[in-house]
Amino acid sequence: MLLGRDPAEVAGRPMSPPEPDWIQADPRRIRTALARASAKPSGGWAVLDATRAVREAKGPRHYVVAGRELVAWWDGERVKVAPDACPHMGASLSCGHVSASGEVVCPWHGLALGKTAHGGWAPLRTHDDGVLTWVRATALLAPGEAPTDAPILPVRPPRFLDAVVRTEARCATQDVIANRLDPWHGAHFHPHSFARLRVIGEDAESITVRVVYRIAGRVGMEVDARFHCPDPRSIVMTIVAGEGVGSLVETHATPIETGRTAIVEATLAYSERPRMAWLPRAGALMRKLVQARSARLWDDDAQYCERTYELRTKKKPLTVVDDAEIPAPAEAE
């Protein structure tokens, strides 16, 4: 049983029956889309974590971005990010505490840092977009690329309930983006979340799918959703028809070190219906429900990403069967 608005009333139904998903999911097709995304500028920015996660932490938090150890803390007004090694003797600042004045205090000798630079130690450039905290680092720039003052952000709805999950996987950032550029695996690999999924549109910048999200048991909601990559390490799914038009799921991949990636996914749920105006105020309960669903999907997709990374880096041979070699089904007698 389907709930909500029928996206076909707005978008129109595709006329021809689709090819099997395993044929549509052509590796060359996915690689081409990934190459286009990878060629986009990032300005040197990557997502660190949910701003809420740093703000509500009991003390400074430790992160690694592009091989560099960082400390993040809430100074009372905003998130600050800096090198984790204390400039005095190298202690880990993430093992310290935050002072009443908003400085991170070294656990070894009490050096308070954060207001200004201290020798070669200085806070990094950050950006709080209202949901996520981004960090800018030279190591995140492509050869010849110039840094930008702010990250490249998608258009967000005017109000929303946000829910963020963060996980790590043994893969590269490109494996995460490629996973989302392969929507054909959705209903097969995630039957607990998707009852049906088909690609209904594709161009150089986006892929549009019609998908039935499972709500409970056999009850689902059908929407049309469009995927696009605003930068080389981000992919955004926007609901374009059906219930919740304008809602987003932003998936961001941040390199930790070689073969290790942080996946930060922000869901921004929105509805233009007047009776749904309570949604952004639903708070902690709804946020936990959305986070649980996102985390379950990434339990699956982290395995997908780790497998593609393993195959690529270890160069395990794949036996590719040509269509002509597959025998036709026997005719019924």
DSSP sequence for 187-232 = HHH-TTTEEEEEEEEE-SSEEEEEEEEEEETTEEEEEEEEEEEEET
129 and 249 housed in the same domain: no
CA 266 to CA 268: how far, in whole Å? 6
Residue 229 CB coordination number (10 Å): 24
**Given this model, what pLDDT does residue 284 score?**
77
**Given this model, what pLDDT does residue 152 score?**
96
Residues of the chain below pLDDT 70? 1-17, 273-282, 316-333
CA 182 to CA 29: how far, in whole Å? 9
Size of the chain in residues: 333
The angle that helices 173-180 and 27-38 make with each other, rounded to 10 degrees, is 120
- Of all helices (H) and strands (E), which one includes residue 2? strand 2-3
Strand 79-83 with 68-74, pairing: antiparallel
**Given this model, what pLDDT does residue 282 score?**
63
161 and 75 housed in the same domain: no
Strand 219-231 with 2-3, pairing: parallel
**Given this model, what pLDDT does residue 281 score?**
60
Question: In total, how many domains does the chain have?
Answer: 2
Rg, C-alpha atoms of the chain: 22
pLDDT digits (tens, 9 = 90+) for 175-233: 999 999 999 999 999 999 999 999 999 999 999 999 998 887 778 899 999 999 999 99
Amino acid identity of 250? E
254 and 291 housed in the same domain: yes
How far lies 145's CA from each of 8, 39, 40, 91, 141, in Å?
42, 11, 10, 33, 6
**CB 265, CB 252: distance < 8 Å:** yes
163 and 136 housed in the same domain: no
Which contacts (CB < 8 Å, 24+ apart) does range 102-108 have?
102/74, 102/75, 102/76, 102/77, 103/75, 104/60, 104/71, 104/73, 104/80
189 and 125 housed in the same domain: no
**Given this model, what pLDDT does residue 323 score?**
40
Examine residue 209 and state whether it is found in any structural domain, yes or no.
yes
Nearest one of 225, 219, 220 to 244, comparing CA atoms: 225
Counts for the chain of helices (H) and strands (E), in that order: 7, 17
**Given this model, what pLDDT does residue 219 score?**
83
156 and 67 housed in the same domain: no
**CB 200, CB 209: distance < 8 Å:** yes
182 and 98 housed in the same domain: no
Assigned token pair, 114: 């954060």
**Phi, psi dihedrals of residue 92, rounded to the nearest 5°:** -80, 115
Examine residue 146 and state whether it is found in any structural domain, yes or no.
no
CA 280 to CA 287: how far, in whole Å? 10
CA 157 to CA 166: how far, in whole Å? 22
**Given this model, what pLDDT does residue 286 score?**
85
Phi-psi domain of 97 (left: phi exceeds 0; alpha: psi -120 through 50; beta: other): beta
Q: Look at residues 105, 140, 175 and tell me which one is the last residue of a structural domain.
A: 140
196 and 82 housed in the same domain: no
Burial profile 72-96: b = 16 or more Cβ within 10 angstroms, e = fewer: bbbbeeebbbbbbbbbeeebbbbeb
Examine residue 331 and state whether it is found in any structural domain, yes or no.
no
Q: Residue written as tokens 């990934």?
A: 34
220 and 277 housed in the same domain: yes
117 and 9 housed in the same domain: no
113 and 228 housed in the same domain: no
Residue 101: domain span? 46-140
**CA 280 remoteness from chain centre:** 21
**CA 130 remoteness from chain centre:** 16
Examine residue 290 and state whether it is found in any structural domain, yes or no.
yes
CA 313 to CA 105: how far, in whole Å? 41
166 and 282 housed in the same domain: yes
Q: Is 277 helix (H, G, I), strand (E, B) or coil?
A: coil
Nearest one of 259, 262, 260, 240 to 249, comparing CA atoms: 240
CA 154 to CA 256: how far, in whole Å? 23
pTM reported for the whole predicted model: 0.87
**Given this model, what pLDDT does residue 10 score?**
47
Examine residue 219 and state whether it is found in any structural domain, yes or no.
yes
